[in-house]
A and B are shown apart, each in its own frame.
Chain A
């Protein structure tokens, strides 16, 4: 697999190719860290048109390394939007019916304020001077974007993994603003094992001399090796043992025999190196630190006295949860505990576990059973909301 190097574009952080909403000093973003972010900006994409009743809006929340380019060509990689299999004209989430919004998260690196953005106080990138961002902070910023569109109630909020955490946070923080919620392959908290993997990734970034204590952009450098290792390790957790074996086995990469050296003899090594290399071209290392931290800090039950059901008390939101049998990052049990909490809260909830060997990343792939579940859930929610088909 040859690495195709995309052009380096750092200015996506300050001047993204997508629309941007700027919030001045009069509209600060309150952060869980106890401080405020101001001024700040949110970069977003929309697809389709908002109807007159403003009742057909769907907010898509992206995962750790995702971005707002959910259903259109990514300006950095030139690849299709990350969820184009699901979202677009005539797709399951049909943009000729729905108004789809996707915003880059706060702490991200594609236009919403994050560590690579210029700190107006210094004229230099924030780096580690950016306060720690939480999932709830991201959702607060998204709410301000939704308010900007004059949308009283989102028809649906959906997302997978870190996106699913945001969906749960939306439902817990602003239940009256969410008609239906579709958290996929996610959890109400980050497990110890997940925090452990993230810590390995962060340590890899920080161990790279080019990281410069987080000030690498000031030095015109980037901790590419560290970030690539972080991505390689993380990427393993997105797949499954069975899928790796099916795709790569012990196959050798462009050679007939072992070389008795440390080249990428095996296809899996070559594949992971490619994943690491292409990732550093599109992602900011400090952003990776901030966003992994946001996921680690997420614990919805802890925010509600340790009882997850209390996070959803009295909710009228319709929920559908989806997990995948081979997902060992967010195993089915994580979804099931959310379902139990929602049952205890008397919420309307569906829960589908999908049989696949493709691991955590299955939510991004063409999975017919996933699409059937989303389709059924969206269609029945649309009927309940009085949206014409």
Chain B
């Protein structure tokens, strides 16, 4: 996964949410970028779960504790509240059962941090409304037929799901296309329209 500036900001936002020396599980750890960042800056006790063999091998070769596994299947093997934080970064939309995965995150972690691309962003809406095409953007680079992202949602959709699962939103951050945080004073509709991605801190 290429890392552009906006994605880095998403990791920085997550990093800011996690106190030093926390126990962290990163679900969908990719090539280990976030885990490495958290270990260096926050000295966390970090673990990862990653679906792709290439990602896992890279993580382990870099000395990270990462296991090959599937968020949809393997989270059930983790004990209740085994971690201070469970992070799901840019992965929710690629899971088969996002509701179940989110439920598991809230069970395993004292807190869950979820970041995802906002499908309510104006560019997405523009693409559908005007062009009548599924959006292909810098942040959503896949065509509809080969995308791993099978469950897109908007920020509003996600907030509703959190309510359904009895999770409290302790903090939420939306990032615009330039990776800038959108002001806290702005209403939800504004976030949902201009937020390209969102980071949520949840507790249940």
Q: How far is the CA of A320 from the CA of B82 in the complex (A)?
A: 19
Judging by beta carbons under 8 Å apart, are B56 and A349 in contact?
no
Contact with B along A170-199 (1 / 0, CB 8 A): 000000000000000000000000000000
Complex Cα gap A318–B46 (Å)? 12
- In the complex, residue of chain A having the shortest beta-carbon distance to the beta carbon of B76: A340
- Residue B63 interfacial (CB < 8 Å): yes
Majority-rule SS of B interface residues: mixed
Contact of B67 among A318, A351, A383 (CB under 8 A): A351
A339 touches B69 (CB 8 A): yes
Most buried by A among B53, B57, B62: B57
Flag if B79 contacts A354 (CB, 8 Å): no
- Give the B interface residue count (CB, 8 A): 21
In the complex, chain B residues whose CB is within 8 Å of the CB of A380: 62-64
Q: How far is the CB of B54 from chain A (nearest CB, A)?
A: 9
A352 and B79 in contact (CB under 8 A), knowing A339-B69, A340-B74, A343-B67? no
Q: Does A84 contact B (CB under 8 A)?
A: no
Q: How far is the CA of A57 from the CA of B121 in the complex (A)?
A: 56
At the interface, yes or no: B37 with Cβ under 8 Å from chain A? no
Contact partner of B69 (CB less than 8 A), chosen from A336, A341, A348, A355, is A336
Q: Are A344's CB and B63's CB within 8 A?
A: no
| Nearest Cβ on chain A to B90's Cβ, whole angstroms | 22
Contact pattern, B 75-101, Cβ under 8 Å of A = 1, otherwise 0:
001110010000000000000000000
20 more A-B residue pairs beyond the given contacts A352-B53, A352-B68, with a C-beta to C-beta distance below 8 A: A318-B65, A336-B69, A339-B67, A344-B78, A344-B79, A348-B45, A349-B47, A350-B65, A350-B66, A351-B67, A351-B68, A353-B68, A369-B57, A372-B57, A372-B61, A373-B57, A373-B61, A376-B62, A376-B64, A380-B64
A contact residues vs B (CB 8 Å cutoff): 318, 320, 336, 339-341, 343-346, 348-355, 369, 372-373, 375-377, 379-380, 383
> Which B positions have Cβ atoms within 8 angstroms of A?
45, 47, 53, 56-57, 59-69, 74, 77-79, 82
